[in-house]
Structure 1
């Protein structure tokens, strides 16, 4: 039994260590800016659109905005009944309102 243990230990120590299978392949690299921009679009969430006396307002990530306001790096280009259009460097991004159920609130 001791001989088997010693032989197994010798084989383990002499074999090269296995690479971490979860480690990315060599040469694989993500630019920090690319990773940040990939995360940023998913982080914007349109939660609510409400019609007020002053016009439509939207709730994006917990912040109320109106048409023309700034939200993070975006400018609110338009607010419609079921979506908000954001603009950044001449490009538009549309945030759809996912839950369009109409709720009645008592005031």
Structure 2
């Protein structure tokens, strides 16, 4: 999240097996089998497809990302992101719902 209240949203490459070319939640990884998952709990477990813990990083610079995984990234307010998804821009699974729950007062 930058100082203007915008999230940096990456777009997945077209060769991804799942959600190719879609807007994504982050450029982070996933907890693997045997790894610790700090209190594996999500208060939104009823509406999201996975248990998750979300960390918001405040920074005005776009993060470095692997071009094998992502083609681009753009800064969008939560409202603009949801509007873009609602207008038909493809997005990864829970991105719209997660944005709604975290930034648009449920």
The interval holding the TM-score normalised by the smaller chain is under 0.3
More helix by share: 1
TM-score when scaled to structure 2? 0.24
TM-score when scaled to structure 1? 0.24
More strand by share: 1
